[in-house]
Structure 1
Amino acid sequence: MTSTAASVPAYTNSPGLEFVSYHDLEERPAFKLALHPVDGRWLLYTGHIWHNGWSVLDVTDPAAPEFRAFVEGPPNTWTLQVQVADGLLVTALEEIGGPDEERAVALWGRQRGVPHDEGVLFWDLAQPEAPRRLGQFRTGGAGTHRNYYVGGDRAYLAANMAGYRGNIFVSLDVSDPADPREVGRWHFPGQWIAGGETPDDEHYLHGPPYVLGDRAYVPYGRAGFVILDLSVESEPRLVGRLDIGDFGSIIGVHSVLPIPERGLAVVSTEVIMEGGQDPMNLVVTVDLSDETRPRPLGHFPVPVPPAELRIADFDELGGRFGPHNIHLPHGLPWLAAVEDHVHVTYENAGLWTFDISNPRLPRVRDHFIPAAPTVRRGLLPRQLATQTEDVLVDARGYVYISDKNHGLFILKDHHVAERTSQPLWRA
């Protein structure tokens, strides 16, 4: 099923980000996104925020995406996050809305008295449009949020394990996906309640960890950006940490994108409160030349509304305004490498791209801003507004963005499509 032209929401864009198509996802707004190229086809898997389950779309022709399947998930359970590699689909299961039940019911639609599932599921994709469930890893706690899997026999989780406050770092052996087993774990001091520790703040891993070799680059919430040594898998060791102090929302550091060939990382916090009530949120470049002391280098400029929107700042549009997700290529050849071109979602400000060829002076490149939805699909935001959540860029230069109430937008990034430093990867 493809959308009709009449159903395409209005948008504002700069020439470098060209609108290609829109799909309403059968009225189920997507959250996280993952691509699986196979046998000449490009399949997109989505988690959902207001619906329990996952969708499969064929985006081989990005101008005419085709809805293929909706896979039902467990009731009263967040099914937000997906990863795909080596023919294995990895999906997170999580208690909706966190430990505060009243808040979770009011804001996120959690059902009182209805059991939820938790942990992470592993699915075989021998038939890509019909995932076959293989195994499950349970945390004993609230489940997992944003996880990391790029193939092979290891997966890395942001997991709320039994006895801990908030999510911690957990590594799994998935050589047998039907029977995943824990290899190691690491937590920030104060999280291990069952061990007698006392938390002094909301220091917990948001995820996903980003693992390269024996290093894990970890967005650890209010604890900041953490680098772990995984050379002894059973006992991860702290290497360095960037403290964000009073910057950022209660979530703290949300995403970390290491760019090892340049000795850099991009680190972002996540906006949470609507109407500009958060402290200043950040997207920064970080110098990793001394990994024991990661050092901030440059601050991404705050997006300024294009003149045609006729607003002084984005908070006038309602909902959240500020950074959320970054395109994370995870070294997968079918996803666009970052080099000096970073994609960041900014909630009611849509998608913005930045040039970090000079990491001390990031500059705006392009933007794509959908108009506000006209139909409410979920409880948030309180004032119906665009809330661009996730972004994924494939090696062909096509960009996929999701929203709390819109469907899926597919764009073409002409900078990615035209650059010659990255060979074109084909399914």
Structure 2
Amino acid sequence: MLYTRGKQWGPNGPQGEEVNPYPKGEMFGAASIQWSEARQNYVMVQAYEIRRFGLLEDKFTQPDKVAQIRHPDHLKGFKVYDMNGPLPKDWTLIAERTTDINNPEAEIGEQQGSGVRDIPTWFGGKTMIVAAAPDASYALTEYGNDLYSAGYQSWDMSDPASPVLMDQLAVPGQILNEPAHQKAYLNNPRAGNRTSWMGARMSLFIPTPIEEGGKYGYAAMGGLGFYVVDISNPAQMQVVSHLEFEPSVAGTEGDFIDVSQVEQTGLVYFSGYPLNEECFEPYKDVHIIDVSDPAQPKKVGVLPRPIPPKEAAFTDFCQRRGSFGPKRTGAYTQPGIGRQGILPYNFYNAGLQVFDVRDPQQPAIAAYFVPPFKEDEVASYAMGNLSHSAYVEYDRNLFWLFTNHGIYVLSSPVLGKPSFAPPEQPWPPRSAGARDSQ
């Protein structure tokens, strides 16, 4: 079942009668849905963050828009729901928290900071980690339409109806008016360019939940680089190591880390993504990093750049139209999490690119699917970001590719024979004897 919020979109943009399943003033943010042993139910944690698009263009010249973001009419933080079905009418709110940890009782409109950015990292157990700036001091970023350089917060979710803050982590170069942070920022070659995104846009990337023995999380901090974080004591998170990369001006330089292979190979895959179109920014590589020694991560190489087939009317995907570059391989909420040796990346106008990484010295593209542009269905100003994300059902051997004109479900021998029967086991996993989902 697909349920749309707002008006239908077509070649002229939003059109038709608005249908909004959400209560007035509510919004749908990035969410993690997990089985909670504590509640014997599926529980959803939904992020509420500041508005990043369609309002502020230049924070240096638009103080009125800055004020709107500082004092919005919505929560800055997260909400927790018992999820008894797919639609908002089936959800029961059980908790609400602000990430303004210095003023936890602040009312809507007075809460400071960024709120929770993108998907909370929570596996249904005790520890949840989110990307958030708690207040306006997390401000060492010059990106024109963003006010905050987010760090990380850990929350105790032993009782999902009563989340408790455990810790706030920042890395050097984030906090205004703190000499050590300002020195680290000014020593960064990106300082002064008003272009590079700094800080976290997503939460820590964690291959193994802490409750199952996981010790490390991996941080993508934009132009601040790559970090290994010791999370074994989530009430006292510790930076273990750091890698810097040469500036790649424009776009986001560090947004995503694939950790699906790290437990078997010691390798993670670190990347940013493009924000400009028509070749107007450097290509964003997917960096291969060896973290087998967490204290000394090493750069191994990069994944190959996707190349159009010989029969294409262009020689590089950036010439095709729109944005070209990596986004993500999916999310930790995918059934099965990952498949060793396979990395399926969404690549915007290059669609789905599936990498064979069994030999990290010779990674190769094993399969791809490039969707068409559909000018008769999509508004011209929304055409550039052709494909937005990938999701893989590893239990049924199905790729899902989400585009600006629809959803594709794909199969490939690289993944295996597809199954179109219902999954044999629910996802996220449930405890033995748990009640059937509604």
CA distance in 1, matches of 2:296, 2:114: 32
1:210 corresponds to 2:205: yes
Residue number among 271, 280, 284 corresponding to 2:283 in the alignment = 280
Do the aligned residues in 1 keep the contact of 2:304 with 2:365 (CA within 8 Å)? yes
Relative contact order, higher structure (CA 8 A, sep 6+): 1
Task: Name the structure 1 match of 2:56.
Answer: 101
- Mapped pair 1:235 → 2:236: yes
Instruction: Give the corresponding residue for 1:155.
Output: 128
Tell whether 2:320 aligns with 1:317.
Answer: yes
Q: Give the gaps of 5 or more residues in structure 2.
A: 36-41, 60-64, 100-111, 140-148, 192-196, 209-213, 427-438
Corresponding residue SS for 2:343? strand
Return the alpha-carbon distance in structure 2 between the equivalents of residues 416 and 277 of structure 1. Answer: 34
Query: Is the partner of 1:414 in helix, strand or coil?
Result: coil
Partner Cα distance (2:58, 2:326) in 1: 23
- Aligned counterparts of 2:316 and 2:276: Cα–Cα separation in 1: 16
Q: Secondary structure at the match of 2:277?
A: coil
Is residue 256–residue 266 contact of structure 1 (8 Å, CA) maintained in 2? Answer: yes
Shift of 1:414: 3.3
1:137 matched to which residue of 2? 97
Letter in 2 for 1:319: G
Alignment match, 1:389: 388
Q: Is 1:178 aligned to 2:178, yes or no? A: no
| Structure number with bigger Rg | 2
- Give the counterpart letter for 1:396 in structure 2: R
Answer whether contact 2:5 2:21 (CA < 8 A) is retained. Answer: no
The alpha-carbon distance between structure 1 residues 194 and 177, as it changes in their structure 2 partners (threshold 3 A), is farther
3-state SS, counterpart of residue 415 of structure 2: helix
Name the structure 1 match of 2:33. Answer: 84
Query: For the Cα contact (< 8 Å) 2:199–2:224, is it kept in 1?
Result: yes
Output the CA distance in 2 between the equivalents of 1:75 and 1:234: 33
Give the share of equivalent positions with the same residue, in percent. Answer: 21
CA offset at residue 25 of structure 1? 9.0
Classify 1:187/1:305 alpha carbon distance in 2 versus 1 (closer, same or farther; 3 Å).
same
Match of 1:120 in 2: 78
Change (3 A) 1:398 1:111: farther
Deviation, structure 1 residue 175: 2.1
Change (3 A) 1:254 1:406: same
Aligned counterparts of 2:23 and 2:366: Cα–Cα separation in 1: 39
SS of match in other structure, 1:315: helix
Paired letter, 2:50: E
Cα distance in 1 for partners of 2:66, 2:238 equals: 39
Q: Output the CA distance in 1 between the equivalents of 2:157 and 2:400.
A: 28
CA distance in 2 between counterparts of 1:379 and 1:186 reads 41
The amino acid that maps onto 1:102 is E
In structure 2, give the amino acid aligned to 1:179: S
- Whether the 8 Å CA contact 1:329–1:338 is kept in 2: the answer is no
Is residue 148–residue 157 contact of structure 1 (8 Å, CA) maintained in 2?
yes
Pairwise CA distance, 1:195:
4.9
1:242-281 matched pairs, under 5 angstroms? 242-247=243-248, 249-258=250-259, 259-281=262-284
- 1:189 equivalent in structure 2: 172
Provide TM-score, normalisation by structure 2.
Answer: 0.72
Cα deviations by residue, 1:372-403 (Å, 9 ceiling, x for unpaired): 1335767854xx24521211111211122223
Deviation, 1:247, is 3.6
Deviation at 1:347, TM superposition (A): 0.7
**Separation of aligned partners in 2, 1:230 and 1:265:** 17
What SS does structure 2 have at the residue aligned with 1:326?
A: coil
Once the two structures are TM-superposed, the CA of residue 99 in structure 1 deviates from its matched residue by: 11
Q: Is the 8 A contact 1:124 1:133 kept in 2?
A: yes
Point out the structure with the larger strand share: 1
Note closer, same or farther for the CA distance 1:133–1:376 as it changes in structure 2 (3 Å cut). farther
- The 8 Å contact of residues 271 and 285 in structure 2, kept in 1 or not, is answered as yes
Moved more, 243-252 or 213-222: 243-252
**Contact 2:48-2:76 within 8 A present in 1 as well:** yes
Paired residue secondary structure (1:339): coil
Q: Name which of structure 1's ranges 205-214 and 363-372 shifts more when overlaid on structure 2.
A: 205-214
SS of 1:255's equivalent in the other structure is: strand
Q: What TM-score comes out, normalization by structure 1 length? A: 0.73
Instruction: Kindly indicate whether the alpha-carbon contact (under 8 Å) linking 2:152 and 2:203 is maintained by their aligned counterparts in 1.
Output: no
Structure 1's unaligned 5+ residue stretches are 3-22, 30-49, 51-68, 105-109
* Counterparts in 2 of 1:134 and 1:26: CA distance versus 1, 3 Å: same
Query: By how many angstroms is 1:82 displaced?
Result: 2.2
- Given that 1:188 and 1:203 are in contact with CA atoms closer than 8 Å, whether structure 2 keeps it comes out as no
Q: Tell me how far apart the structure 2 counterparts of residues 244 and 311 of structure 1 sit (CA, whole Å).
A: 30
Report SS of the residue matched to 1:353.
Answer: strand
Q: Deviations over 1:166-212 (max 9, x none)?
A: 11111111222233221112111131226564343443012231223
Distance change (3 Å), C-alpha of 1:284 and 1:128:
same
Residue equivalent to 2:104: none
- Mapped to 2, the partners of 1:320 and 1:242 lie a distance apart of 27
Q: For 1:214-254, what per-residue CA distance to the aligned partner results, in whole angstroms no more than 9, with x for missing partners?
A: 21111111122111112332221111122112246452111
